[in-house]
Amino acid sequence: MTIAEPLLILVLGYIGVGLAFAVHFVTRLAPRIDESAIGSPLGFKLLIFPGAAALWPLLAFKVSRMKEGA
């Protein structure tokens, strides 16, 4: 097993978790973070989806911190 195989598995795992988180974030969590996202159109959701997928650890941390404070 070369070093590339575990690295590929790690990257694919990050992408997979990111995609799953982004779906949940765009549909349910974004309106909790920003009130202007409530009732947002599909175009807005498609616009923030790639960023949510890429930055999922940061967004998950932010959402978890909000739940603690609430």
Rounded Cα–Cα distance for residues 51 and 4 (Å): 26
For residues 18-33, one letter each, b for 16 or more C-beta atoms within 10 angstroms of the residue's C-beta and e for the rest, the string is: beebbeebbeebbeee
Contact 38, 31 (CB under 8 A): yes
pLDDT of residue 32: 86
pLDDT at position 1: 72
pLDDT of residue 69: 62
The predicted structure's pLDDT at residue 4: 93
For the chain, 70 residues long, the average pLDDT of each consecutive 10-residue run is: 92 98 95 89 96 96 79
CB 6 within 8 A of CB 37: no
pTM metric for this prediction: 0.85
Picking from 70, 60, 67, the residue whose alpha carbon sits closest to that of residue 22 is 60
